[in-house]
Amino acid sequence: MTRSPNRLLATIFGAVYLLIGVLGFTVTANTGFFSTQGGLLLGIFEVNIFHNVAHLLIGAALLIAGLSSVRAAKTVNTVVGAAYLLLGIVGLFITGTDFNILALNVPDHVLHFGSAVILLGVGLGADKSTRAAVA
């Protein structure tokens, strides 16, 4: 695993996103599932229950892929990175509207764009000898 940047990154990001998902439930006790306003995780990241569940699912996908194989990690890093890039772009337009079902705020956008850059960079740039599975 330590010889593959994709496996290492997927495993680390997976564990971190699982932890974020679990910790998010500590600040969303009085928040609706799709509430456009959420609790503040670490005092800055706005989350609701749906956002927490999304973090758990993404974390699980990354962790499982990272522990599985280079090909799986490369594919999941690329797909999750692309999804975070899309979420970052869309999030800029839906914050403050009724469409903000993830209760996103500006620090969330920064985190999502940062995750996208790192995941896409490693997913597309590292482990070149292993082709990603085409979905």
Tokens of residue 42, six digits: 């670490």
Query: How many residues does this entry show for the chain?
Result: 135
Average pLDDT, the chain: 92
Q: What is the domain range of residue 12?
A: 5-125
Q: Which helix (H) or strand (E) holds 68?
A: helix 49-68
Domain for residue 133, yes or no? no
Answer whether 8's CB lies under 8 Å from 66's CB.
Answer: yes
User: Which residues on adjacent β-strands are paired with residue 39?
Assistant: 47
Domain for residue 80, yes or no? yes
Domain for residue 110, yes or no? yes
Tens digit of each residue's pLDDT (9 = 90 or more) over 105-117? 999 999 999 999 9
Tens digit of each residue's pLDDT (9 = 90 or more) over 27-54? 998 888 998 888 999 999 999 999 999 9
Domain for residue 22, yes or no? yes
CA–CA separation, 2 and 70 (whole Å): 11
Domain for residue 131, yes or no? no
- Domains: count for the chain: 1
What was the pLDDT predicted at 126? 84
Tens digit of each residue's pLDDT (9 = 90 or more) over 76-106? 999 999 999 999 999 999 998 999 999 999 9
Domain for residue 27, yes or no? yes
What was the pLDDT predicted at 129? 67
Burial tier of 65 (Cβ tally within 10 Å: 0-12, 13-18, 19+): buried
The CA–CA distances, whole Å, from 68 to 1, 2, 4, 18, 95 equal 9, 13, 12, 17, 36
CA–CA separation, 80 and 60 (whole Å): 12
Tokens of residue 57, six digits: 């699912």
